[in-house]
Amino acid sequence: MKHSIYKPQILNDINRDNIAGGLMTGMLGIIGPPVMVIEAANAGMISHEQTITWFYGVHIFGALLGLIMSLYYRMPIVGAHSITGVAFLVTVTPYFTFEELVGSYIITALIVILFGVSGIFKKVMSWIPREIIAAMLAGIISSYVFGIIPAAIEMPAIGLTAILVFFIFRKWDLIIPPMLAGVFTAVIMYFVLNHFDFSAIGTTPVAPTFTVPEFSISAIISITLPLTLLILSNDATPAIGALESNGYKVPVNNILTASGIASLGATIFGGQSANVGGMMTTIASDHASGEKSKRYISSVISSVVMIIFAVFAWALVPLMFDLPASLMAILTGFVLIGVFSSTLKRSFSNPKYTMSVIFAFIISASGITYFYISAPIWALLIGTIIAKFIED
């Protein structure tokens, strides 16, 4: 099948559902990750200029990856960066120079490219039942969705109003999708009820800086292996799984190869990766993002949102640190609640795999990490073993 980057019908493919999907996907990419990036930067005493450049790298190259791949394949392939990878970096940045970190990122990107070119990853994914993949995705999302309730109790005026609006829009199928209505309500209520200090907005633009890498054996061993596993297990696996469970014929090898190439670009600016986004692709590929053939628009819109955020990161990132954690939890929960519902339904669509699905879900939801292998991979492994050798 021959693809082309530009087709006149792109504008005709835009609709309410894929706009909403794109906005929610983009919001997920800019709500939580900035906090973790700055936490990792502070732990490693990385300068303000290098930190903002880090944002430029991961968001610009992640957005370009999603933009190019989604337009070329007409699939909701969303580019982002490894959020769990950043969470891991918080534990290691104090022990290495910024230049050594960048060197280990480059090796990571090359390994991801190798996985894509060799085709190993695709062979593994083809053996896993779709129901197990859906259960794994639901498990990843569950903690964020469950977080709505304690956050709503902590901020009842905002949380309960947003939940009420969500159900009103769901009941009467109003113009705005219910998840987005909940998000907008929470944001509006927060600014109405609180005298927010906008003086926190950054005032001095930061120009991107380039980092010359240094390669050390200790940094490569300590950072490259775990970071590669996190990208493959927490990002590539859920993303490809979401696309496959929604009926797309996924170019697995090309997605991984492109993720590695984009990550190489991000490393120039000190970014740890720019790869296919697991959670974000899950949202964009879901049926809530509209007609299947037009869901790629969600990825396009998400990419635009991330580019805008990257360009103004110097101003927006300091501002976001003044927003309460409970508000961020409410926003994230509403962004993901629709996907949680649909993945849970797909998980139990085949009665034959009931027990394997349950174990895949609870293992994924547990968040365990064992031998540097994250919960989603264990969920797929154990769930597939139960499905293939006990329930089949």
Q: In this predicted structure, what is the pLDDT of residue 346? A: 87
pLDDT tens for 249-272 read 999 999 999 999 999 999 999 999
pLDDT tens for 281-302 read 988 999 889 999 999 999 999 9
* Rounded CA separation 152/387 (Å): 38
Residue, of 199 and 301, whose pLDDT is higher: 301
Across the range 212-225, mean pLDDT stands at: 88
**Is the confidence at residue 8, as pLDDT, over 70?**
no
Model confidence at 2, pLDDT cuts 50, 70, 90, reads very low
50 CB-near residues (< 8 Å, 6+ apart): 41, 98, 209, 211, 270
Across the range 228-248, mean pLDDT stands at: 88
* Rounded CA separation 104/99 (Å): 9
Q: In this predicted structure, what is the pLDDT of residue 381? A: 92
Q: In this predicted structure, what is the pLDDT of residue 62? A: 96
Q: What is the pTM of this model?
A: 0.79
**Where does residue 367 fall: left (phi above 0), alpha (psi -120 to 50 degrees), or beta otherwise?**
left
Model confidence at 372, pLDDT cuts 50, 70, 90, reads low
Residues in the chain: 392
* Rounded CA separation 383/120 (Å): 20
- The whole-chain average pLDDT of the chain stands at 88
Across the range 177-194, mean pLDDT stands at: 89
Residue with tokens 């959670």: 279
**Is the confidence at residue 1, as pLDDT, over 50?**
no
pLDDT tens for 9-24 read 788 899 989 999 999 8
351, amino acid identity: P
Model confidence at 123, pLDDT cuts 50, 70, 90, reads confident
**Is the confidence at residue 4, as pLDDT, over 60?**
no
* Rounded CA separation 360/379 (Å): 4
**Is the confidence at residue 348, as pLDDT, over 80?**
yes
HSE of 251, CA atoms in CB hemisphere, 13 A = 16
Which secondary structure element, helix H or strand E, spans residue 332, and what is its range? helix 325-347
Residue, of 341 and 153, whose pLDDT is higher: 153
Across the range 96-117, mean pLDDT stands at: 95
Across the range 376-380, mean pLDDT stands at: 86
Please say whether the dihedral angle defined by the alpha carbons of residues 144, 349, 361 and 239, taken in this order, is positive or negative.
negative
10 CB-near residues (< 8 Å, 6+ apart): 71, 297, 300
